[in-house]
Structure 1
């Protein structure tokens, strides 16, 4: 039997047939070799940092192996959670509990026995010993999900753990900077820093070409290049889109990936992504408390306030994951009808500040963008893809 599309294109799992190796910072050395080097350097903590949906976890799975990797999330920790209790639980160690012990009564010839309960707490040394003896590597994914206070506590625990040669990889986003790790004086000289760069179009294109070849389906270099642009530097998004294409073509009993199917595939892919509420919160902005907002007529005939215009500006061509303020402002003015007075720059900045405050107070999924140092960082390529294809836009 031939391979099925879902075996080849795997957005949420290790992509055995479409894994693409990349070079580390144009050194000619692969990311895989760089991570192996870091893990084999005793007494060092590995800090893996890069944009969302860039394959950081997949890289760890490739190098470390499923049987050796122990993955936790920053979200697994809070102010009340014992760091070592979480780390122990992930490998099934009973970190704390009660045991029942029995002893014989003191009287001669007595067969009576007393029982008593004793509480125990496994020491962190025992947990570290287990990890070392079983060749386990602790991978703390989404380190930025932990609170700032918890990040500092974790950094303190990790300092001693790596000295005892526990192998640890901390994975984080670049603009949610893991200062607790990278700027911790106690960890100075004990860090192996690996920056994961955004994927280049030529590497993303390789995912499509390899995958469709495995399925004996035809795709041209030109079509693969179009896919590489639209997947917004994300290999995961490329996997999603290619799988959608396969399902659409199977329904038509066709085996050629033509340019005409791409837009349908993009829209079809967005049904997997639940960003409807995120977009609504951003477009709505803060509570107006009865005040009317200025509306601007757009070239497409819509009437939008400034929050709506900001959201629309993100979706415009060309798709970009980082937008400086001038770029955002120009996109907004291009959306508005020519005879309509455009908002001033300070007003746009104020709205971006308000938007940042709103999203910061919401759940993690709402924090899809970050306005920082005069730039908007779109943290999640799947969110931007949804903006472009999952809704009506300019």
Structure 2
């Protein structure tokens, strides 16, 4: 019977689709907006939200993988790959093969003898010898044309997760090739981070007015607390005065992913791995140790790569932080970002102000700082797996911390940084 009890990992799901602790955030009408789009169509729907804020979970709740064509932008590096991925999903044949065979036969009568008891006599034996020849003709079918024929006017939605991962020239090719299909009724949903939500319009100006936006947005503390309340109640665990839940929500950087993880680890820290037979009180851990332990498993490798820079150099100018730590310009910029809280969206001016506050010497020049931010973006994109942890938008002059786990690491993983 004990084996049938809910396990904490079934209740608090970090990195997967939650069931018990799923929060539709009904006051934002997110599910209804997607359902309305599926009813109406004739536009592209862009669902945007920061990393690990529940974008994919939301869309999958409405369109399970079996009910749509799901593609990952991170796995698409060319338009050819895009069309081939859809063809594979639809089970389409990309070539037609015709084979024809011919066979010539020769009949021969062979004289022979058969011994049956003591009698001997002659018999006729027929043998068949022959040859076969064949011709095989293969004709390749145009994959985009074939896929477009199937998709046109269909009601099966096409979902491109992590649309922002695709190179912009590939985005442009794909959006242009989908325009007429969208006009004819194909439902196309792209999922992206907020500052890339308008990539569809940025790469193809003609899509202006033909893109509908659904912003998932950051979670507030009440929404995050709802995850804990649902889960703890299912496990028969109690946070008597609500202080534990409040603290977890404050440290979650508006991410349900982090909140799920924190709740899971709090249960384990209290020795609970399954639902209890009767309600039991949760106790507060040593918070500094609790969060430092979580941070050590979060984004240290990403931080190390960014702090190192594009290559190891011995001629970088040393810079001393007010904490006494000696670092270089990469470490100084990371210290400045962390000093802001860190905030997950920063202008150059905010970073420069923070640099003045964390450095014991003069702050670097503007061109130096922007060059470092651009280099960090390249490293985050090319050398770090998954969502880029930071992204500097040159056009907007803003730095985005795209991954709440990285923001969490900057707060708890490197205490001597600032």
Which secondary structure does the structure 2 equivalent of 1:15 belong to?
coil
1:177-192 mapped onto 2 (5 Å cutoff) = 177-181=197-201, 184-192=204-212
1:343 paired to 2:362: yes
1:165 is displaced (CA, Å) by 2.1
User: In 2, Cα distance between the equivalents of 1:251 and 1:348?
Assistant: 52
Which secondary structure does the structure 1 equivalent of 2:182 belong to?
helix
* 1:231 and 1:237 in contact (8 A); partners too: yes
Structure 1 residue corresponding to 2:392, chosen from 363, 371, 374: 371
* 2:47 and 2:216 in contact (8 A); partners too: yes
Question: TM-score, normalising length from structure 1?
Answer: 0.83
1:282 paired to 2:306: yes
1:223 paired to 2:247: no
1:84 is displaced (CA, Å) by 1.8
User: In 1, Cα distance between the equivalents of 2:316 and 2:210?
Assistant: 56
Cα offsets for 1:162-221 (capped at 9, x unmatched): 223222101112223543446634334432221222111111111112111111111242
* 2:345 and 2:401 in contact (8 A); partners too: yes
Cα offsets for 1:31-88 (capped at 9, x unmatched): 0001111121132221112221111111101112343133211222223634321112
Structure 1 vs Structure 2 CA RMSD: 3.3
Cα offsets for 1:71-123 (capped at 9, x unmatched): 211222223634321112134x134135343366899xx99774423234265
Segments of 5+ residues of structure 2 without an aligned counterpart are: 106-129
Matched with 1:149 is 169
| Aligned residue pair count | 380
Flag the 1:182–1:50 CA change in 2: closer, same or farther, 3 A: farther
1:14-29 mapped onto 2 (5 Å cutoff) = 14-23=17-26, 28=27
Task: Point out the more displaced range, 127-136 or 231-240.
Answer: 127-136
User: In 2, Cα distance between the equivalents of 1:94 and 1:272?
Assistant: 43
User: In 2, Cα distance between the equivalents of 1:134 and 1:215?
Assistant: 44
* 1:76 and 1:86 in contact (8 A); partners too: no
1:353 paired to 2:371: yes
Segments of 5+ residues of structure 1 without an aligned counterpart are: none
1:304 is displaced (CA, Å) by 2.5
1:270 paired to 2:269: no
Matched with 2:11 is 8
Matched with 1:37 is 36
Task: Point out the more displaced range, 198-207 or 257-266.
Answer: 257-266
Which secondary structure does the structure 1 equivalent of 2:40 belong to?
coil
1:332 is displaced (CA, Å) by 3.5
Structure 2 residue corresponding to 1:119, chosen from 116, 136, 139: 139
User: In 2, Cα distance between the equivalents of 1:217 and 1:33?
Assistant: 33
1:1-394 mapped onto 2 (5 Å cutoff) = 1-23=4-26, 28=27, 30-79=29-78, 81-91=80-90, 93-102=91-100, 114-121=134-141, 124=144, 127=147, 136-181=156-201, 184-219=204-239, 220-250=241-271, 255-273=280-298, 275-287=299-311, 290-299=314-323, 301-316=324-339, 318-336=341-359, 340=360, 342-344=361-363, 347=365, 350-360=368-378, 362-363=381-382, 365=384, 367-372=388-393, 373-393=396-416, 394=418
Task: Point out the more displaced range, 112-121 or 202-211.
Answer: 112-121
* 1:298 and 1:304 in contact (8 A); partners too: no
Question: TM-score, normalising length from structure 2?
Answer: 0.79
Flag the 1:33–1:311 CA change in 2: closer, same or farther, 3 A: same
1:159 is displaced (CA, Å) by 0.8
User: In 1, Cα distance between the equivalents of 2:250 and 2:237?
Assistant: 21
Flag the 1:106–1:130 CA change in 2: closer, same or farther, 3 A: farther
User: In 2, Cα distance between the equivalents of 1:76 and 1:289?
Assistant: 33
User: In 1, Cα distance between the equivalents of 2:268 and 2:193?
Assistant: 32
User: In 2, Cα distance between the equivalents of 1:188 and 1:333?
Assistant: 41
Q: Comparing both structures, which one devotes a greater share of its residues to strand?
A: 2
1:244 is displaced (CA, Å) by 1.7
1:12 is displaced (CA, Å) by 1.6
Flag the 1:123–1:356 CA change in 2: closer, same or farther, 3 A: closer
